[in-house]
Chain A
Amino acid sequence: MNDRRVVVTGLGTINPVGSDVESTWRGLLSGTSGISAITLIDASDLSSQIAGEIADFDIEAFMPRRQARRMDRYAQLFWVAAREALGDAGIAHEPDDPAAYRTGVAVGSGIGGVATFEEELTTLLEVGPHRLSPFGIPKIIANLAGGQVSIDFNLYGPNTTAVTACAASANAIGDAAAIITRGAADVMLAGGADAAITRFGMGGFAQARALSTRNDDPQGASRPFDASRDGFVMSEGAAALVLEERERALERGATIYAEFVGYGMSADGYHVTLPRPGGAGAARAMQSALADAGIVAEQVSYINAHGTSTAANDVTETIAIKSVFGDTAYRLPISSTKSMTGHLLGGAGAIEAVASVLSIRDGIVAPTINLTDPDAECDLDYVPGVARNVEVEYAMSNSFGFGGHNVVLLFRAP
C-alpha cells in the first residue's frame, strides 16, 4: 500500500472573510480583514471585545430548524464547509453506496461546543439536572462535527477527531492522509471548526493573556510579526478538504488541486500555553514534514505561517523557520492569513491548508496585512500588505497548539 498517494480534490470553508472558498480566496488576496466589534455576545465587560464573526450565519438556509438545533454552532459551521467540499469534489453517496464505506472523516476542533456548554452549565446551576437538554452532551463533544456529517452525507469509513487545540485540523488532515495511504479508506473528508466567541471562550483566552485588546481598531488588531502586535484575535469558522487516493481521483477525472506529500509532528514538552523558546519543537516538525515528503528545505516555495500575532509565537516561529531553512529563509515568501481571518482555533490548520492549496493552483500567495512596523526579531519576508505572484511547487503550512503540539503539512503542485 506504500505506493498509494493522496491528492486534494475538494475544498470548502465558511469564515469571517468569506462564506465559501472563492469569496474567501478573493478576500485574502485583496487583503481584507474579517475582524469587527463583537455582536454575538455581550462583550462589555470583556478585555477583548473584537473577533472574526460570521455574523449573518443562517444554518436554516442549509437544514431544517429541528436538525440544526441538535447541533452546536461549531458543528453547524463544519457541516456547511463539509457540504461545499464534498460538492466541489463531486462526492455524493447514497445510503449503502459501496463507495460510502471507503469514505471517512477526520475533524479537528480545539474546544467543541463551548456555547452549549455554557448554556447547559447555566441550566444546571440555576434550575437543576432535571432540566439539562438531552442534546447537551452530543452538542458539546468535539467529535460530533465528524459524527454528524457521517450521518447526513453517508460517510461510513474511518471517522476520527483530533483535539490538539490550534493544531487540531492540521492533525486531522495529516491523519486523514495517513488513513488513505495505509489503505483503510479511499477518500477522507478532513478539516476542522471552532465557534468560541462566547463569554467563556473570550474570557478564558483573555485570562491566558492570549488575546488582542486593540478594541478601538478591530481590523488592525491581528498583526502578525508586527512590533505592536498584542495577541491573537478570536474567530469562528470551519474549513474542509476532500483528500483522495490519487489513482481513484485520476480515474474519475476529478479536479486535482494539489498532492498531499508531507506530515510532520512534534511536541515542545515545555509549557501549557507558551512555545519552547528557540522554536526547537516547531523546527523538528518542519524537518519531519520535509523528510516525509522526501525533499530539502530549499524546494519549499511558500510557508503559510502559524503567525498568530502573539508576542511569543511570531518570534519563535521565525527563529524556527531560520533554523530549518538557513539562508534560504530570507528568500522565502511567508505569510500569515490569520492577519485577515483571525484565529479559527481548531479550524485554523484547515483554512490555512485551503489557502496553501489555492496558492499552488493560482500561483499567488496571500499577504500578511497590518505589518507596518516589523518586530526587530521578525526579519523574514512576510509578504506585507499585498498579495504576490509566486509559482508555488511546494507549500508548507504550520500549525501549533496549546499543549506544545506542532504540526506541519506539505502540499505539492499536482
Chain B
Amino acid sequence: MDRTEIESKLTDLLVDELGIERDDIRLDAKFEEDLDVDSLGVVELLMALEDNFGVKIPDEEAEQITTVGEAVDLVEAKLNA
C-alpha cells in the first residue's frame, strides 16, 4: 500500500468510523484541536487503524500522534517494517 492509498483509506475511516466531516480532514489537521477528537475518540481511531490496516499500535506510540499526517506516517512505517 503506498502513501496515497494510506491517506485515502485513513480519510475514509475518519469519516465513516468517527463521523468527521471530509472537508475538515487535512494532513496538518490536529486531531484534538482541529477535528474535535477527544480522548475517547482517539481510542476509537486506534482500533480503526489496527482493524483496517492490520497493524498493531502500542499505546506509547499512539500517544505521539497529534495530526492526521502523523497517523499516516505511523501506519506507513508499520506496514513497511
Verify if A135 is at the interface (C-beta below 8 Å from B). yes
Q: Which of B3-11, B40-48, B68-76 contacts A (4 or more CB under 8 A)?
A: B40-48
Q: Which residues of A contact B43 (CB under 8 A)?
A: 134
The 0/1 profile, CB within 8 Å of B marked 1, for residues 120-158 of chain A is 000000000011011100100000000000000000000
> A131 vs B48: C-alpha distance in the bound complex, in angstroms?
10
Mark out the residues of chain A between 41 and 82 whose CB falls within 8 Å of any chain B CB in the assembled complex: 64-67, 69-70
Check if B40 sits within 8 Å of A66, measured CB to CB: no
Q: What is the total number of residues of chain A having a CB less than 8 Å from a CB of chain B? A: 12
> A138 vs B44: C-alpha distance in the bound complex, in angstroms?
14
Q: Which residues of B contact A64 (CB under 8 A)?
A: 19
Mark out the residues of chain B between 39 and 71 whose CB falls within 8 Å of any chain A CB in the assembled complex: 40-41, 43-44, 47, 51
Check if B19 sits within 8 Å of A66, measured CB to CB: yes
Check if A66 sits within 8 Å of B18, measured CB to CB: yes
Q: Which residues of B contact A135 (CB under 8 A)?
A: 40, 44
Q: What is the total number of residues of chain B having a CB less than 8 Å from a CB of chain A? A: 9
Check if A65 sits within 8 Å of B19, measured CB to CB: yes
Main secondary structure of the interface of B (DSSP, over half): helix
Q: Most chain-B CB neighbours within 10 Å: which of A65, A66, A133, A138? A: A66
> A378 vs B18: C-alpha distance in the bound complex, in angstroms?
54
Check if B19 sits within 8 Å of A134, measured CB to CB: no
Q: Which residues of B contact A65 (CB under 8 A)?
A: 19
Q: Which residues of B contact A69 (CB under 8 A)?
A: 19
> A135 vs B42: C-alpha distance in the bound complex, in angstroms?
11
Closest to A67 in B: B19
The 0/1 profile, CB within 8 Å of B marked 1, for residues 225-269 of chain A is 000000000000000000000000000000000000000000000
Q: Which residues of A contact B19 (CB under 8 A)?
A: 64-67, 69
Q: Which residues of B contact A130 (CB under 8 A)?
A: 47
> A130 vs B40: C-alpha distance in the bound complex, in angstroms?
14
Closest to B40 in A: A134
Closest to B18 in A: A66
Verify if B29 is at the interface (C-beta below 8 Å from A). no
Q: Which residues of B contact A70 (CB under 8 A)?
A: 40
Query: Provided the pairs A66-B18, A66-B19, A66-B20 are in contact, do residues A131 and B40 lie with their beta carbons within 8 angstroms?
Result: no
Q: Most chain-B CB neighbours within 10 Å: which of A69, A130, A134, A135? A: A134
Q: Which residues of A contact B41 (CB under 8 A)?
A: 134
For the complex with contacts A64-B19, A65-B19, A131-B51, 16 further pairs of A-B residues with Cβ separation under 8 Å are A66-B18, A66-B19, A66-B20, A67-B19, A69-B19, A70-B40, A130-B47, A131-B47, A133-B44, A134-B40, A134-B41, A134-B43, A134-B44, A135-B40, A135-B44, A138-B40
The 7 closest A-B pairs by CB, nearest first: A66-B19, A134-B43, A134-B40, A65-B19, A69-B19, A134-B44, A135-B40
Question: Could you list some 16 contacts between A and B, CB below 8 A?
Answer: A64-B19, A65-B19, A66-B18, A66-B19, A66-B20, A67-B19, A69-B19, A130-B47, A131-B47, A131-B51, A133-B44, A134-B41, A134-B43, A134-B44, A135-B40, A135-B44
